[in-house]
Amino acid sequence: MRRLTAISAIICMGSNDGWGVMRIVLAGILGAVAMFVWTSLAHMATPLGNMGLSQIPNEAPLTAEMQRVIGDKDGLYIYPWVDPKDANAMKDYAAKLAHSASGLLLYHAPGASGDMTMALVYEFVKEFVEALIAAFLLGWAGIASYVGRAGFVTLLGVGASISTNASYWIWYKFPCSYTLAYIAITLIGYLVAGLVMAAIVKPAAAR
């Protein structure tokens, strides 16, 4: 018999009951719901969402000055600035660091909306894409045990949680507490999604 491709194997995973792909999609949806619920709880019911964030002392004069200087130009700013095309950029940057504050500034001009409805929608869509990818990989892996399948998804979360969070800590000196908190939020999100998906996506021999 001709060896099945990875996609064909996933499709045939549920050939006995005719809904292998539906299992994958269902697992992606329910996994995303579990991930979304956990992420919401992490921000509303635990201190994780605010770890590493601090209030600026005497905030009003600083924000007024930012508005005067930056105006309505929303963006991500880095300071002190050096021209990356300059051959001496690294040397100039090191010299500026010796006597200048440094950091990143995410700036939004006055008038931004406080309505989080669309942000929540985008967040769920993002988590659905993550969970759907994990469900396809889980179906491809063909792991027999429930614990093994849940652990597989959690392991995917390790890569997802450190991919950007750790880099921001390394290069931009994000607070360690912030970095660890958001690694934990993402990793636990994959864990709870994995517990759900492992009960749905399983090889025929385990059903």
Could you read off the pLDDT of 32-64 as tens digits, one per residue? 999 999 999 999 999 999 999 999 999 999 999
CA distance 135 to 122: 20
Q: What is the DSSP code string of 12-58? A: HTTTTTT-HHHHHHHHHHHHHHHHHHHHHHHHHTSGGGGTT--PPTT
Contact 25, 183 (CB under 8 A): no
Mean per-residue pLDDT for 157-184?
Answer: 96
On whether the CB atoms of residues 183 and 166 are closer than 8 A, the answer is yes
Residue with tokens 């004069």: 61
pTM across the whole model: 0.86
Domain residue ranges in the chain:
6-50+115-206, 59-107
pLDDT of 8 reads: 47
Q: What pLDDT does residue 12 have?
A: 47
| Per-residue pLDDT reduced to its tens digit, 92-107 | 999 999 999 999 999 9
Percent of the chain at pLDDT > 70 equals 89
**Residue range 111-146, pLDDT digits in tens:** 988 899 999 999 999 999 999 999 999 999 999 999
Does 18 have pLDDT greater than 60? no
Return the DSSP state at 204. G
Per-residue pLDDT of 174-203, as tens digits, reads 999 999 999 999 999 999 999 999 999 988
Cα dihedral sign, 20-24-29-35: positive
